[in-house]
Amino acid sequence: MIEIFKVDNMEHTPFIRQVEKFAGDEIVFSDREEDCDVFVTRFFQKLKPLILQYGSSKKYLVWTHEPRFDTHFNRKISWKGVDVHIMNIYTGDIYLNNYYFFWRDNICKIPDYKVERFGREKYKKIAALIKNCNWNTSLICNARELDLYELRKKIALQGYQLDKVDIYGKGWQENIVIENSRSGRWQERKIEILQKYHFNLCFENTIADYYCTEKIWDSIISGCLPIYYGGKNSTIYEDFEKNSFLDYTEFRDSNELFEYVEKMSIDEFNQRLNLCIQIFNKTYEKVKQMNRKKQVVKNIVQKLKEIM
């Protein structure tokens, strides 16, 4: 039995309920710092005062699937001579496939009205649901830029200036944004917005293997052809076929992308989106047969045992 103490509330992680459900008596939660074997948190900084207090008499684990909560690239680091173990999206033991955020429970098809409206100019616009962050989001690993947020924002702004992109989200100037789509029942509102469009700029925030959020799935179920960031050796192509979504890495720049969208025929749109829908439906069947949460907890338990 391993006793763990949650240094923060571990909101939206398996440490809320799933560890107890799937790990049984192997893992228990401690209410007292001094009684625990392992301190667990989403934020490395929160471990520093505990390391200063307890040193190597305790074990330490950072666990998060949020790309910017922790940006270490190694599974173990040292601080003040004490080992801190890392499980994040860059260490390769959080996301095991492209389905972690696949939460839809119905199967979709191209709505008839999408086909009927395709030839009208305004329906060729691209929807971009993006929060406008004003801080530096650059993230370099092995001389490679992993951040996609700034690129996505740049494309959205260029498209807005050319009247080819409609922007939704928080933090934008009123003359740019149509609405803050993240307020209230934002998940439902997102689908309502996307149903008005044929194309959706839906890059992930960060490049990482199997880091595939709800963005591409929500786009497909709304009848939007995803404009996604695939790239060479992207794990997204373990499920998606070439010539399904529009892969931005196949275009020289945003102008070439906008021109391609403008010239796309209804036949190509149908062919690409139908491929996406087929993949969506296959994924739906796969997800029904697997217990993703249980597998994630299995990895956590294995890591905790290794730490001990």
Q: What pLDDT does residue 21 have?
A: 85
Q: What pLDDT does residue 11 have?
A: 93
| β partners of residue 201 | 227
Q: What is the mean pLDDT of residues 243-265?
A: 96
Residue keyed to tokens 């799933």: 18
Q: What pLDDT does residue 123 have?
A: 61
For the chain, the C-alpha Rg in angstroms (whole number) is 22
- Is 90 exceeded by the pLDDT of residue 269? yes
C-alpha to C-alpha distance for 27 and 23, rounded to whole angstroms:
6
- Side-chain-side CA neighbours of residue 291 (13 Å): 8
Question: What's the chain's average pLDDT?
Answer: 92
- Is 80 exceeded by the pLDDT of residue 91? yes
Q: Which pTM value belongs to this model?
A: 0.91
Cα 14 to its chain centre, rounded Å, is 16
pLDDT-above-70 percentage for the chain: 98
Q: What is the mean pLDDT of residues 186-205?
A: 92
Cα 212 to its chain centre, rounded Å, is 5
pLDDT-above-90 percentage for the chain: 75
Q: What is the mean pLDDT of residues 274-283?
A: 94
Asked if 5 and 45 count as a contact pair (C-beta separation under 8 A), the reply is no
- Is 80 exceeded by the pLDDT of residue 104? no
Which token pair is 19?
């560890």
- Residue 13 backbone phi and psi in degrees, to 5: -125, 165
Q: What is the pLDDT of residues 5-64, one digit of tens each?
A: 999 999 999 999 888 888 888 899 999 999 999 999 999 999 999 999 999 999 999 999
